[in-house]
Structures are given as structure tokens and as C-alpha cells.
């Protein structure tokens, strides 16, 4: 019997029915096929002092909120970050592999892996994950951002599910709320008073909070900001000094004073 690279299909071919493994609701018009947990929305954008990478906190399975405190902006090493959209289980494993491989290279070679080498490493992981992605059980569409010491600047790259990489000139967005954020960024850069890349850090952070709030307004899978529960997007700054997480109390102040007002 020929088996495909889909774990659920393998179970079915071995005689394990999905109706026995998962509760069925077909009679109510809901598919009995189990929903995978996924995470959205993430984006990276350049500003005057470097790169900001942000992600909402919500993880969903179909129309069910599974978790509202997910960290989707993962620090791989002191100069690079991977923001994940897709299946967290697969994405977190990729992040762990990258973190350990970068650390091993640094300790064995007594120097950091080049920025190009980091890009190739993530591309290889995505390419190896292609069967699971095409089967729908392990799709990951990440955004990778970091500081390139050789060129002395921050860079942003985005990928497709097969590992093809593309450099973003000013910003990159991934996840179900990406269309809203991409549209606003395009408008600001094209017809705004000034390009986003020219913003100072405070204005850029305010803009990030507004972008995530707008995405949450039009996409139910995006968590947005929940001030009452003290839930704010994870935001990391990348510059020549390395990766730094923006403290939640600073986001709280900016949101209450600049976004809600």
C-alpha cells in the first residue's frame, strides 16, 4: 500500500478512523477533520534606527482561540530574529534547530555565521519541511530579520513554504492579517507624509501598535491589543547593538497615550 506524507492519511490507511480519534460534528455541518493550531500575524519593517519585528499573541485552531500568549517573534541569536506564521509546533522546532546550529558554529569556528549562511540554513529547513507543508500538516511561512555586520545594516527576508527567499526592501508581512497591514504600509510609503523607514523609534512603535490593532479589526485570527488583560504584541528591535525586546510597560504607555487618544 502506497502511503503519502500526511500523518492523518497514514492513520486512515492503517485502519484508524478519524471519527474514533476525534469527536465528529458532521451532523451540525462542521467537518470532523481536526483543526491544526496555527499562529498569525507577524511583520517586520525598517525604521530610522534599524528594524522592528512584531507579532500578535493569538494561536487558533479553526475558529477556536487555543492560546492568547504565544510568542511568535523568536530570537535565534544576538543579531537575528525569526517571526513565525503557520503551525507553531513545526516553527518552534525550526527555531530550536537554527538556534543550536548557529551556536555550534559560533563556538566551533570562533565567529558568527554569516548573514547569508543564516538565510541558507532557514531555507534548507523549509525545503526539508516541504512534504509536510504540502500535506497541510506543517505549513510555516516565516519572516527572517537580522543585522548584517558585513554591510552594516538591518535586513528583512520572507519565504514561501518551499524555502524560496526574497529580500524585502522596506517591510515584510505574513499571516492571516497580512493583507490589512501590507495595505497600510504601502499607502504610508506611497502617499504618507514620510516613508516608514524615516520614523524615529517612538513613532515606529506607535505605528506598530496601530497596525496590529487594524489587523485585529478585520481578521479574527489576529489577537491585536487587549489592554485590560495586559496583552500586547511581541516587538523586538534589531540594530548594530543586537536584538532587544521592547518592554511591555513601554507599549502599555504608548498604547494608552498615543493609540487610544
Nearest to 43 by CA among 216, 204, 242, 181: 181
DSSP tag of 55: E
Nearest to 161 by CA among 137, 136, 133: 133
Give the count of alpha carbons within 13 A of 118, CB side only.
Answer: 29
Catalytic residue of the set 38, 40, 41, 60? 40
Q: How far is CA 231 from CA 29, 47, 81, 248, in A?
A: 34, 24, 21, 9
Active site residue 40: yes
Q: Answer yes or no: are the C-beta atoms of 79 and 200 closer than 8 Å.
A: no
Nearest to 125 by CA among 93, 83, 88: 93
Beta-carbon count within 10 A of 218 CB = 12
Phi, psi dihedrals of residue 257, rounded to the nearest 5°: -95, -30
Q: How far is CA 131 from CA 38, 82, 137, in A?
A: 18, 21, 9
Q: Which residues are part of the catalytic machinery?
A: 40
Amino acid at each position: 500500500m502506497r502511503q503519502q506524507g500526511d500523518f492523518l492519511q497514514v492513520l486512515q490507511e492503517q485502519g484508524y478512523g478519524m471519527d474514533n480519534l476525534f469527536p465528529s460534528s458532521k451532523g451540525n455541518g462542521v467537518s470532523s477533520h481536526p483543526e491544526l493550531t496555527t499562529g498569525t500575524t507577524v511583520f517586520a519593517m525598517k525604521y530610522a534606527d534599524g528594524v522592528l519585528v512584531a507579532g500578535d499573541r493569538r494561536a487558533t485552531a479553526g475558529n477556536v482561540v487555543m492560546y492568547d500568549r504565544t510568542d511568535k517573534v523568536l530570537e535565534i541569536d544576538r543579531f537575528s530574529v525569526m517571526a513565525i506564521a503557520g503551525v507553531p509546533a513545526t516553527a518552534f522546532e525550526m527555531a530550536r534547530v537554527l538556534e543550536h546550529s548557529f551556536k555550534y558554529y559560533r563556538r566551533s569556528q570562533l565567529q558568527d555565521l554569516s548573514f547569508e549562511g543564516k538565510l541558507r540554513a532557514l531555507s534548507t529547513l523549509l525545503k526539508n519541511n516541504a512534504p509536510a507543508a504540502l500535506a497541510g500538516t506543517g505549513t510555516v511561512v516565516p519572516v527572517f530579520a537580522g543585522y548584517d555586520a558585513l554591510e552594516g545594516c538591518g535586513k528583512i527576508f520572507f519565504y514561501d513554504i518551499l524555502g524560496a527567499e526574497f529580500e524585502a526592501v522596506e517591510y515584510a508581512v505574513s499571516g492571516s492579517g497580512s493583507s490589512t497591514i501590507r495595505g497600510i504600509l504601502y499607502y504610508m510609503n506611497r502617499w504618507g507624509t514620510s516613508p516608514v523607514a524615516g520614523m524615529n523609534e517612538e513613532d515606529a512603535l506607535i505605528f506598530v501598535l496601530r497596525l496590529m490593532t487594524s489587523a485585529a479589526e478585520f481578521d479574527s485570527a489576529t489577537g491585536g491589543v487587549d489592554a485590560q488583560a495586559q496583552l500586547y504584541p511581541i516587538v523586538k528591535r534589531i540594530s548594530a547593538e543586537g536584538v532587544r525586546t521592547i518592554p511591555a510597560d513601554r507599549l502599555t504607555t504608548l498604547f494608552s497615550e498615543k493609540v487610544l487618544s
